[in-house]
Amino acid sequence: MNDVELPRIDRRTALKWIATASASLVLAPRWTTAAEGGTGEGARLVNATGYGTDPNLVKVYNPGDCWPLTLAASQRHLVAALCDVIIPADAKSPSASAVGVHDFIDEWISAPYPTNVDDRKVILDGLTKNWRYPGWRVTWAVGPRRVIEGVVSAGSFLDGGGSRPLQRKAIELLAPTAAMAETKAIHQTFGKKRAKLLNGLRDLGLTVDLPPEGTFYVWASVEHLPASIRDGMAFFRAALDRQVITVPGEFFDVDPGKRRGGRASRFRRHLRFSFGPAMNKLELALERFKELIAAAS
């Protein structure tokens, strides 16, 4: 969205920050986040292209000398903006981006250590939560497992609006030039994936009554498939055995108070399929569906 190159902090400084943070990780217990199933390991060296011994902190390095940096220019801008939302400038202190926090994050997630590699996925996945998706992910809750479980449970019953700094940043993303560029990119990328999944499911014998026009899901019926997988739950379980996740249609059949008694769901033959994943994942899923249907009786 913005082609202007942000100034970088001295790389020696960024590497010293990494050394300090790494030492802190070793000395302090590693807490469990809501996205993790257990505790992590301390940092240890792993192989990476062009990486040998630890960096020499008295040497001046250029970007990419120690290890390739991860963030593209547009991602650096987004990270810098999010850093400033979390830690804005005030009368006494500069903003996070002014002291190069976004550069430190880029160095941190690019380093070839297990802890850094784990954090890389969290950061990059977090950056996908921008205006085109359900919301911005601007913070993470970290703490003991029982505390995080309580936070997650409470969050399910709470709702609220974005903070004022976040809304101000959102205005920039909704500027006509940026919005049109994002819209065209989404149409081009998701249009291809939509066609792949839609045509693939039809070729396999599933019925699509109404093609999607605004979401990245296909609502399809399995009523014409072999008897053993002719309802949503049966197809869901069979696909799960082949490591493909779908969502049975009856999960979307709202029945407050279970007032329908023993009547079967009107969506028992349907499933929801997502074309959000990458194209190669969709192709793999369709191939596994084909094998599943061929093996069904």
pLDDT of residue 173: 73
What does the domain layout of the chain look like in residue ranges? 11-173, 188-295
pLDDT at 241 over 90: yes
pLDDT at 190 over 70: yes
Residue-wise pLDDT tens digits, 106-149: 888 888 888 888 888 778 766 764 444 445 555 566 778 888 78
Residue 32 confidence class, pLDDT cut points 50, 70, 90: very low
Q: Which fold has domain 188-295?
A: Aspartate Aminotransferase, domain 1 (3.90.1150)
Residue-wise pLDDT tens digits, 245-289: 999 998 888 777 777 777 778 899 999 999 999 999 999 999 999
Integer angstrom CA distances of residue 293 from 8, 62, 233, 248, 287: 54, 54, 15, 17, 10
Residue 47 confidence class, pLDDT cut points 50, 70, 90: very low
Report the sign of the C-alpha dihedral through residues 269, 275, 278, 283, in that order. Answer: positive
Q: How far apart are the two ends of the chain, measured CA to CA in Å?
A: 52
Tokens 């049966």 belong to which residue?
Answer: 234
The tokens for 113 are 């250590």
DSSP symbol at 253: -
Contact of 102 with 127, CB cutoff 8 Å: no
Residue 222 confidence class, pLDDT cut points 50, 70, 90: very high
Checking 189-192 for CB contacts under 8 A at 24+ apart, the result is 190/216, 190/275, 192/279
Residue-wise pLDDT tens digits, 66-82: 788 888 887 888 888 88
Residue 159 confidence class, pLDDT cut points 50, 70, 90: low
- Please choose, from the candidates 111, 98, 96, 114, the residue with its C-alpha nearest in 3D space to the C-alpha of residue 41: 114
pLDDT of residue 283: 96
Torsion of CA 99, 100, 101, 104, to 10 degrees: -140
**Mean pLDDT score of the chain:** 76
The CA-based angle 109-111-113, given to 5 degrees, is 105
Predicted TM-score of the model (pTM): 0.49
What does the pLDDT average to over 92-109? Answer: 87
Residue 15, Ramachandran bin (φ over 0: left; ψ between -120 and 50: alpha; else beta): alpha
- Judge residue 203's burial from the number of C-beta atoms within 10 Å of its C-beta, 0-12 exposed, 13-18 middle, 19 or more buried: exposed
